[in-house]
Chain A
Amino acid sequence: EVVLTQSPATLSFSPGERATLSCRASQSISTYLAWYQQKPGQAPRLLIYESSIRATGIPARFSGSGSGTDFTLTISSLDPEDFGVYYCQDRSTWPLTFGGGTRVEI
């Protein structure tokens, strides 16, 4: 089982700032990583898959990068609607796993 570690647990930003979130895998997972956003009381939403491909309808301010064990989600200019918890997810092996999440506070 791949263990995904997200750090830090919480980040605070002002609107318009650039945010960089980290996800580290316990073993190499190539580019088999996705990022999800979840707001309170809502289901998660897929943002990025295969490390760097934006999902349908996701704004261009969201970008992903990385391969192997280190991955990054970047929000180029934070919008107030971007608050929430961000999770990474591995699909390289079964069982699938999620990271513990990073809360983004605006």
Chain B
Amino acid sequence: QVRLVESGGGVVQPGRSLRLSCSVSGLTFTNFGFHWVRQAPGKGLEWVAMIWHNGSKKYYADSVRGRATISRDDSTDTVYLQMNSLRAEDTATYFCGKDMGAGYVDSWGQGTLVTVSS
């Protein structure tokens, strides 16, 4: 079955950088796009970024545009989210998700927690 496993979260100081990884298995990786969605503690879902199946297009939320870069490595079936200039408001659980081909997420990882604090 489809499995997505996020890693790379942790505690980071404001202004620093972090790279999140999402390892994908159980599907033909190059057939699908992927999303990052985050959830601040006790809050709702916030869509963050999406990369097309072939990596040709990338989209970002206004809150992270210019600070975040989504990428993919088709040789290792891994999706990345590079976050720079981290702020306290970036503190959240970050979920990786598979796009079903229409801008919806039909498979999710368990999430990785990022805490931005001095």
| Interface residues of A, Cβ cutoff 8 Å to B | 1, 32, 34, 36, 38, 43-46, 49-50, 55-56, 85, 87, 89, 91, 94-101
Contact = CB atoms under 8 A, between A and B. Distances in A.
Interface in B35-77: 35, 37, 44-47, 50, 59-62
Contacts of B102: 49-50, 91
B44 A95 contact: no
Nearest to B105: A46
A79 B102 CA distance: 30
Given A36-B45, A89-B104, A96-B103, 14 more contacts: A34-B104, A43-B95, A44-B37, A46-B105, A46-B106, A49-B102, A49-B104, A50-B102, A55-B106, A87-B44, A87-B45, A89-B47, A98-B37, A98-B46
Contacts, number: 59
A32 B102 CA distance: 9
Interface stretch (B8-16, B17-25, B83-91, B107-115): B107-115
B103 A43 contact: no
Q: How large is the interface on B (under 10, 10 to 19, 20 to 34, 35 or more residues)?
A: 20 to 34
B15 to A, nearest CB: 24
A44 B35 CA distance: 13
Contacts of A101: 44-45
Contacts of A36: 45, 105
Interface of B: 35, 37, 44-47, 50, 59-62, 95, 100, 102-106, 108-111
Given A32-B103, A43-B110, A46-B106, A1 B62 contact: yes
Contacts of B45: 36, 38, 44, 87, 89, 98, 101
A1 B102 CA distance: 18
Contacts of B37: 44, 98
B47 A43 contact: no
A92 B81 CA distance: 23
Contacts of A44: 37, 45, 95, 105, 108
B94 to A, nearest CB: 11
